[in-house]
Amino acid sequence: MHKLYGFIFIFIPLFMLSSCQSKPLEEVENVIENCDYVYQLVEGGHIKVISIESTYSNINGNLNLLVSPCVSQNQSVSFGSSLLKTHQIFISFDAVYPIDSLEIEFISDHSFIYDVSTSLDSKKYKKKLDASSHQTIHSLENIHARNIKLTIPAESSFQINRISILMGSGFRISLDEEFNQSIIQKDGWTGADGIFSFNLNGNDQLSAIDPNTLFIFSDTFIGDINPANFRRISPRLINNSFAYYNQSNEQLWEFVVSDEKAVFLPDAYINHHPYQLLSPEGMSPSFHYIGVVDSETTATWLTDDKDAKIILKFENETYVDSIYLWNHIVETFQVKEVSISAMSDGVETFMTQINVNPFTENGTYSNKIMIDRMVDEIIIELLETDEGTYYGLSKIFIQGLDQGLFPEIDAPYVNLELSDKDLSSRLWLQDGIVLNNHLYVFPILVKDEQTIFKVENVGLMEIPISQGRLQYKKTRYLHTPLQVYTEDGGIIYFGAGVMDNREIDGYIYIYGYKDLNGRHLVVARTNESNFLNFNEWTYFDSIDFVKDIHKSKGLIDEVSAELSMSFMGDIFEKQYVLVSMKNTTSGTVSYALADTPYGPFDEWVDIYQSLEPQFLDAFTYNAKIHNHLSSEETLYISYNVNSFSFAAFIDSRIYYPRMLRLDRITKKD
């Protein structure tokens, strides 16, 4: 999603497309004679080389034969002078492989040290070791690479008899061209940002692919595509869409789009609904973890009923320590006096009347009211207001026992004409889960803010499922406390990834991130019975799961805002696999392993570098595994393709998701 970069997508109907584009490495033909060798995905097997070159060296012999897997055909190549101070030999593979070892046989009058570097994209090389010419086998310790570069001193001549690069353990990684071609549409839905998949029968385990696979998308192009030049024709952008994917049908894809702004609209999260009293929108970090209210916020509660009651209901009897009130930011809408009653099983156990202080200049709370008792309902009634048309409050915060509380809230309200900021509201879709014939998805509310945009809130959509189809017009839009501001100036968002781990430990894990000097993974968990009761959710504080969301601790750095966490059994060295694109927009797909759903995590393993930026005006981000589409032998990881150039979107190859295929390498007997 665009959320990660701090800019607004503005659709511009006039575009320019450069006709000069380099050819992606995936399309380079195999130029190596393979002598009918059968390449197999097995540990210790030869990696398929598609090219070997040494542009600046004066050589005698056929470089291609050096990397032939048929030893009998190997012929030595002599290296004489070089235009550079070194000989540089570049070797490229047909995909990304984990490399076990490099075997290279030199003939030289003296020994020398040379460099071995690897690359995931044929552009950026990292030095992996200093190798000695008198040593034939060099371990590369399962490093993932698409290319190897040998940098050899050019001080004297030498010969190479053969070069062999052998597979390690893990997966061969390549673009899944069959899937990527299938999703390209000539009309209607013509590309989107964001991509999550769901098995609509609720089974999200490996090898659980079902005809009812659902993909959801965020910002989506609608229009036509000219197949001759990939240009979009009369494109229009809506904010979200979805599709059904069925591998058993001749027509794989069935897309659902809207003639409006989106399939799922933000109406429930904007204007002066009573939920705005609990919303994080308009709050900012402060020395106190409940934050301060921005005097420019539009997220407030307003009513034209001067005797209105705000009813706060808890699912169970709950201990309430205190209530904080913020008067309305607009002086003429402010409330002067309220009564506050606390109820328990229909009996009033507490009642007080207070004068509500004016909204403070620094945005801190106006009043704090001590409750200190078990309650299941709180009623706040307006007693005295200004003689205006509308009356209201800005925010309410309810303090429980070591946690902020999130009740259901009901009150009369008015819908007024939306401001420009509110008119820009849209929903981008995060991850979710299927429970009891309903799809639950965590959307984020986004609004324009000057020349950028801002995520204002994390919600929850409950969408009924019937006969393998979403009843999306019956969507129920729920509210959550899953975006908060922390005392140290950070912001926490949940919903970036969801893992159903009920069969393992009984919990559903909801992943998010904390933005503060980078992006850090955080995790919450709940059981199925409390999935909609946020007061029972717990958050990992690096030691234990606690009720206070503000105590969520970062578990690993460099994550992106869309990611996945999966239980993989014994496929990897550890059971749980986190997949993300490092630092959001790096293009580097990586995974990190853990023994539990909450870490500790091993170091990131970089397994793929996206190639699209080499031949498109684009960047890539937000990688994740699609669990139920995957199996023990083949994993599927998607990422998104976007651009910072508005003009670039005329090229339909931008703004389409890409799917990677990870084919498992067989272990040696």
Residue 261: pLDDT band (50, 70, 90) is very high
pLDDT digits (tens, 9 = 90+) for 264-293: 999 999 999 999 999 999 998 877 778 899
pLDDT for 206 beyond 80? yes
**17-21, 180-184, 232-236, 451-455: least confident range:** 17-21
pLDDT for 214 beyond 80? yes
Q: What is the mean pLDDT of residues 534-562?
A: 97
- Considering only CA atoms, which of 178, 246, 169 is closest in space to residue 210? 246
pLDDT of residue 12: 33
Whether 96 and 118 have beta carbons less than 8 Å apart is answered as: no
pLDDT of residue 7: 34
Instruction: Report how far residue 389's alpha carbon sits from residue 332's, in angstroms, rounded to the nearest whole number.
Output: 9
Let me know if residue 33 belongs to a domain: no
Q: Which of 106, 139, 168 is the last residue of a domain?
A: 168
Let me know if residue 38 belongs to a domain: no
What CATH code is carried by the domain that includes residue 515?
Answer: 2.115.10.20
What CATH code is carried by the domain that includes residue 306?
Answer: 2.60.120.260
pLDDT for 19 beyond 50? no
pLDDT for 333 beyond 70? yes
pLDDT for 34 beyond 80? no
Instruction: Report how far residue 641's alpha carbon sits from residue 656's, in angstroms, rounded to the nearest whole number.
Output: 6
pLDDT for 8 beyond 90? no
- Considering only CA atoms, which of 93, 76, 4 is closest in space to residue 580? 4
Let me know if residue 459 belongs to a domain: yes
pLDDT of residue 291: 86
Residue 270's alpha-carbon distances to 147, 299, 654, in angstroms, are 51, 7, 31
Let me know if residue 286 belongs to a domain: yes
My answer on whether 65 and 105 are in the same domain is: yes
Let me know if residue 74 belongs to a domain: yes
Residue 209: pLDDT band (50, 70, 90) is confident
My answer on whether 162 and 242 are in the same domain is: no
Structure tokens at 628: 């139920």
pLDDT of residue 634: 98
pLDDT of residue 28: 40
Share of the chain above pLDDT 90, in %: 86
pTM of structure: 0.93
My answer on whether 328 and 459 are in the same domain is: no
Instruction: Report how far residue 269's alpha carbon sits from residue 282's, in angstroms, rounded to the nearest whole number.
Output: 13
pLDDT for 22 beyond 60? no
pLDDT of residue 27: 40
pLDDT digits (tens, 9 = 90+) for 35-71: 778 899 999 999 999 999 999 999 999 999 999 888 6
Question: What DSSP assignment string belongs to 432-455?
Answer: EEEETTEEEEEEEEEEEETTEEEE
Share of the chain above pLDDT 70, in %: 94
Whether 427 and 239 have beta carbons less than 8 Å apart is answered as: yes
| SS3 label, residue 2 | helix
Residue 338: pLDDT band (50, 70, 90) is very high
pLDDT for 20 beyond 60? no
My answer on whether 314 and 410 are in the same domain is: yes
β-bridge mates for residue 524, sequence order:
510, 539
pLDDT of residue 210: 80
Let me know if residue 210 belongs to a domain: yes
pLDDT digits (tens, 9 = 90+) for 77-127: 999 999 999 999 999 999 999 999 999 999 998 999 999 999 999 999 999
My answer on whether 132 and 219 are in the same domain is: no
SS3 string, 6-55, reads: CCCCCCCCCCCCCCCCCCCHHHCCCCCCCCCCCCCCECCCECCEEEEECC
The CA-based angle 229-233-238, given to 5 degrees, is 125
Give the CA dihedral 410, 415, 421, 427, nearest 10 degrees. 60
pLDDT for 531 beyond 60? yes
pLDDT digits (tens, 9 = 90+) for 481-499: 999 999 899 999 999 999 9
pLDDT digits (tens, 9 = 90+) for 419-445: 999 999 999 999 999 999 999 999 999
pLDDT of residue 10: 35
Structure tokens at 64: 């291609």
My answer on whether 575 and 468 are in the same domain is: yes
The number of distinct structural domains making up the chain is 3
pLDDT for 357 beyond 70? yes
Which structural domain range is residue 634 located in? 175-266+421-664
Residue 24: pLDDT band (50, 70, 90) is very low
The dihedral sign for the CA sequence 182, 186, 188, 191: positive
Residue 250: pLDDT band (50, 70, 90) is confident
Q: Which of 376, 402, 417 is the last residue of a domain?
A: 417
pLDDT of residue 74: 65
β-bridge mates for residue 88, sequence order:
151
Q: What is the mean pLDDT of residues 327-341?
A: 97
My answer on whether 410 and 515 are in the same domain is: no
Residue 195: pLDDT band (50, 70, 90) is very high
Whether 564 and 589 have beta carbons less than 8 Å apart is answered as: no
The answer for residues whose C-beta is within 8 angstroms of residue 135's C-beta and 6 or more apart is: none
My answer on whether 278 and 256 are in the same domain is: no
My answer on whether 257 and 313 are in the same domain is: no
pLDDT for 32 beyond 90? no
My answer on whether 470 and 371 are in the same domain is: no
Whether 354 and 340 have beta carbons less than 8 Å apart is answered as: yes
- Tokens 């939306």 found at: 418
pLDDT of residue 627: 96
Let me know if residue 4 belongs to a domain: no
Backbone torsion region of residue 275, taken as left when φ is above 0, otherwise alpha when ψ lies between -120 and 50, otherwise beta: alpha
Name the residue with higher pLDDT: 75 or 511.
511
Instruction: Report how far residue 377's alpha carbon sits from residue 385's, in angstroms, rounded to the nearest whole number.
Output: 24
My answer on whether 441 and 386 are in the same domain is: no
My answer on whether 133 and 250 are in the same domain is: no
The average confidence (pLDDT) of the chain is 92
pLDDT digits (tens, 9 = 90+) for 218-230: 999 999 999 899 8
Let me know if residue 235 belongs to a domain: yes
Q: Which of 417, 439, 467 is the last residue of a domain?
A: 417
Q: What is the mean pLDDT of residues 466-484?
A: 97
pLDDT for 2 beyond 50? no
| SS3 label, residue 269 | helix
